[in-house]
Chains A and B, each alone.
Chain A
Amino acid sequence: MNKSLKNITSQRLFLPIFCLALVLLINLFTRPDFFSIEIRDGVLYGFLIDIINRASELVILAVGMTLVVSASAGTDISVGAIMAVSAAVCCNILTGGERAATAYANPLILGFIAALVVGALIGCFNGFLVAKLEIQPMVATLIMFTAGRGIAQLITDGQITYVRVDSYKILGSSFPGFPVPAPFIISIIVVLLTLLLLKKTALGMYIQAVGINKKASSLTGIKSVLIIFLAYAFCGLCSGLSGLIASSRIYSADANNIGLNMELDAILAVAIGGNSLGGGKFSIAGSVIGAYTIQALTTTLYAMHVSSDQIPVYKAIVVVIIVTLQSSGFARWRKALAQKKESNTAEKGAA
């Protein structure tokens, strides 16, 4: 019995899942209606649906961030800013440079593609700095973090750009006649495609190898520089997509607020998912669970009528607890405690 328990708890994904379950469990007692799901106007409705809907951008970001963290042992702090830029580019193209439009000036698909390309390009810029020039990831992405919102404001003239066309809202609400939220579907597609790409090709292994030891993997013939570069480009692409969804939700581009503090949540999601921020082994599933945990926490706090300004306090406390539980320092302490106990019982047995 003890052994099987140990088997379960030593599973990689045990802690992330445990945390998510704990957050949801609290709701079971404080708000029994938390788990009810109903259909209103052909769309699913309820707190749980809200969580999986609202977490979508974060899930997509977390996927990109996981690869970046794994390959380069660093974080990309520019993802929120990239979201703002890609949203600004998309809306600006769709309105044809106006600050508000009720009809597309350019085809919808052009706006989408431009947004994704811009996201990927910024990712490439980050990747170039990190992989080729060997700059610490945080410093390298600090550049786009600082400049990104400035560029987005430059594109939108410092104003909010509205696209008041119904078809633009689909990405952030739901596909017509389909009850599941569209952001959720998109995020799941992204996760599945990424997993497929990583498992079916050797890319996943390469990324881990580069993250564990860049020099050694270079010697074995892996193009470390290229792998790191691709990870950042992919992360940029993911950010661009998240930016599109976020912009579609509010059918506008708000350079100051789209993706605000998202980089922090994305990094947290990776950390809560049990991934080491020191690079190497990674688990996409862990990060995805981490993202849902963060969103579940936020939604739970909203349901408990905590105001949005005050939520960070509780988030911080929960994060510290979760991360401390996973930390090596805590493990060391626990081990020392266990040893003490063992020697105590041994002494007693001898006596």
Chain B
Amino acid sequence: MKSRRKLNQTSFLLMVTIVLFIVMYVIGCILFSDQGFAKTQNFLNLFISNAGLIVIGIGMTVVMITGGIDISVGSFVAMGCMMLAWMMERGGIGAVPSVLIVLATGIMFGLVQGFLVAYMDIQPFIVTLAGMFFARGMTAIISKDMISITNETFMAWAKIKVYLPFGGYVNKKGVMIYPYIYPTVVIALILLVIAFIMLKYTKFGRSIYAVGGNEQSALMMGLDVRKVKLKAYVLDGFLCGIGSVLFCLNTLGGFVEQAKGFEMDAIASAVIGGTLLTGGVGNVIGTLFGVLIKATIEAFITFQGTLSSWWTRITIAALLCFFIVLQSVLAMVKKKK
């Protein structure tokens, strides 16, 4: 009975997030109906411009469920993009090996951070803070100038369009135009499904929840808490690697200031999606909707045209505030029961 009530509470938070997203989107459709906000393509653009964030949000969610946090992701994305750009443009390395090297770097990065957190007992915040400094500085060491990617294979990947068989419309010339997405979105959504299944149904996924929920009990249950944490950070690092490749396919270049504040976007998305920073509670589907809400706010501001960019931050902060207070009120009500 008790576990059912808890389930209800977390699914309630998820419901709130989803409903809020739908409400915001409908408002957008009504406000900007003449500018084509309601077009299927516009909806898909939310995914296209945030494929990298979705993947990184998944990693962030996993780490946050263990009770940790990773604030190095933004800098890592900058470093990943810069590595890709440098290897392909200056290093003469092909697109495939470059991508593999970035993925390997992600795993290495996760391994080191995970080791320091799990086996050295240093607070995740401090470890990933150092990781953040390291990755951002490394980006500057690789190159201080912006490098644009011109590699043919990589450009070809970036240009592939996957057309959807539905939702098309007839344009002025009478040609049927179908909405499209990029492979990046497909990859992100596949990873999302895998992560969802992994968290819910595999031993590793459940031990992540157990460690985050109560480390002591997890230990007594016979779980190797340190190993689970290490694995979570390695997974997070790997997802960061993938995320930065997807991000790079979108921006096609590397520069030092890239993806600044990205880590906070990822954390905010996870929190809006109902993941608790104390660990033990979280869901990647919620994170997806957190990302979509952020994307919708940005779309609002683009469509509106006269609003300044800082309104994005203020609106996201207001939303964060709303969700956080809601979470805490729910927790208090539960406690009183």
Interface residues of A (CB under 8 A from B): 75, 129, 133-136, 138-140, 142-147, 149-151, 153-154, 158, 264, 267-268, 271, 277-278, 307, 309-317, 319-320, 323-324, 327-330, 332
Query: Which of B69, B136, B264 is the one whose CB lies under 8 Å from A312?
Result: B136
Q: Which of B133, B276, B316, B331 contacts A134 (CB 8 A)?
A: B331
Bound-state CA distance A317–B98 (Å) is 26
Q: Are B332 and A134 in contact (CB under 8 A)?
A: yes
Closest beta carbon of chain B to A267's beta carbon, Å: 7
Structural contact, B317 and A143, CB atoms closer than 8 A: yes
12 residue pairs from A and B, CB less than 8 Å apart: A134-B332, A142-B271, A143-B321, A146-B268, A146-B316, A151-B314, A310-B137, A310-B140, A313-B141, A319-B126, A319-B133, A329-B121
- A316's partner among B125, B137, B308 (CB-CB below 8 A) is B137
Chain B residues within an 8 Å CB radius of A146: 264, 268, 313, 316-317, 320
Known A-B contacts A134-B332, A158-B310, A320-B116; the reply to A268 vs B137 at CB < 8 A is: no
Partner of B313, one of A129, A147, A267: A147
Cβ of B325 < 8 Å from any Cβ of A? yes
Q: Which residues of B contact A332 (CB under 8 A)?
A: 121
A156, B157: Cα distance in complex, Å? 43
Instruction: Tell whether, in the assembled complex, residue B137 and residue A311 are in contact, meaning their CB atoms are under 8 Å apart.
Output: yes
Closest-CB distance, B196 to chain A (whole angstroms): 23
CB neighbours of A138 from chain B (8 A): 69, 125, 277
Interface members, chain B 117-173 (any A CB < 8 Å): 119-123, 125-127, 129-134, 136-141, 144
A315, B133: Cβ atoms closer than 8 Å? yes
Interface size on B, residues (CB 8 A): 49
Q: B120–A329 contact, CB under 8 A?
A: yes
Q: Which residue on chain B has the smallest CB distance to residue A145?
A: B264
The verdict on A153 contacting B310 (CB below 8 Å), with A278-B123, A323-B122 known, is yes
Choice from A139, A143, A277, A328 contacting B125 with Cβ under 8 Å: A277
A154: B residues at CB distance < 8 A: 308, 310, 314
CB < 8 Å: which of B122, B129, B130, B140 contacts A307? B140
Find chain A residues with CB under 8 A from B217 CB. Answer: none
* B324 within 8 Å of A (CB atoms): yes
Additional A-B contact list (8), CB under 8 Å, known A267-B125, A312-B140, A327-B120 = A134-B331, A142-B320, A150-B311, A307-B144, A309-B140, A315-B133, A319-B130, A332-B121
Residues on A with beta carbons closer than 8 Å to the beta carbon of B141: 310, 313
For residue A196, give the distance in angstroms from its CB to the closest CB of chain B: 30
Interchain CB contact (< 8 A) of A143 among B116, B132, B324: B324
A218 to B314, CA, bound (A): 36
Q: Which residues of B contact A136 (CB under 8 A)?
A: 276-278
B-side contacts of A150, CB under 8 Å: 310-314, 317
Known contacts: A311-B137, A316-B131. The answer to whether A327 contacts B324 by CB under 8 A is: no
Given known A153-B310, A158-B310, A320-B116, contact A139–B137 (CB-CB < 8 A): no
Give the A-binding residues of B (Cβ under 8 A).
Answer: 69, 116, 119-123, 125-127, 129-134, 136-141, 144, 256, 264, 267-268, 271, 276-278, 308, 310-314, 316-318, 320-321, 324-325, 327-329, 331-332
Task: Report chain B residues within 8 Å CB of A142.
Answer: 264, 267-268, 271, 320
Contact B134 A139 (CB under 8 A): no
A268 touches B313 (CB 8 A): no
| A309 to B138 alpha-carbon distance, docked (Å) | 9
Q: A235 vs B246: C-alpha distance in the bound complex, in angstroms?
A: 39
Most chain B CB within a 10 A radius of its CB, from A75, A150, A158, A277: A150
A143 to B326 Cα, complex, angstroms: 14
Minimal beta-carbon separation of B77 from chain A (angstroms): 15
Q: In the assembly, what is the distance between CA of A150 and CA of B317, in Å? A: 9
Partner of A139, one of B116, B129, B133, B277: B277
Are B313 and A149 in touch, CB under 8 angstroms? yes
Instruction: Report how far A45 CA is from B126 CA in the complex, Å.
Output: 34
Across-interface contacts of A319 in B (CB, < 8 A): 126, 129-130, 133
* Distance between Cα atoms of A154 and B315 in the complex (Å): 13
- Minimum-distance CB pairs A-B, first 5: A309-B140, A313-B137, A147-B317, A312-B137, A329-B120
Contacts of B332 in A (CB 8 A): 133-134
**Who on chain B is nearest to A276 by CB?**
B123
Given known A139-B271, A317-B134, contact A277–B123 (CB-CB < 8 A): yes
List of B residues within 8 angstroms of A278 by Cβ: 123
Contacts A142-B271, A307-B144, A329-B122 given; does A267 touch B325 at CB 8 Å: no
- Beyond A319-B133, A329-B119, whether A147 also contacts B126 by CB under 8 A is no
How far, in angstroms, from A317 to B112 measured CA to CA in the complex? 12
Across the interface, name the chain A residue whose C-beta is closest to B329: A133
A157 CB to closest chain B CB (Å) equals: 9
Assess the A133–B325 pair: CB atoms within 8 A.
yes
A255 to chain B: closest residue by CB: B310
B68 CB to closest chain A CB (Å) equals: 11
Q: Quick check: A316 and B134 within 8 Å, CB to CB?
A: yes
Complex Cα spacing A20 to B93, Å = 43
Across the interface, do B140 and A267 meet the contact criterion of CB distance under 8 Å? no
The interface residues of chain A lying within 8 Å CB-to-CB of B130 are 316-317, 319-320, 323
- In the bound complex, CA of A271 to CA of B69 (Å): 17
User: In whole angstroms, what is the CA distance A22 to B276 when docked?
Assistant: 40
Known: A134-B332, A136-B277, A136-B278. Is A147-B125 also a contact (CB below 8 A)? Answer: no
Shortest beta-carbon distance from B72 to chain A in Å = 9
Task: Please tell me if the beta carbons of A143 and B137 are within 8 angstroms of each other in the complex.
Answer: no
CA distance A122 to B139 in the complex (A): 34
Residues of B within 8 A of A140 (CB): 324
- What A residues does B121 contact at CB under 8 A? 327-329, 332
Assuming A138-B277, A139-B324, is B134 touching A313 (CB within 8 A)? yes
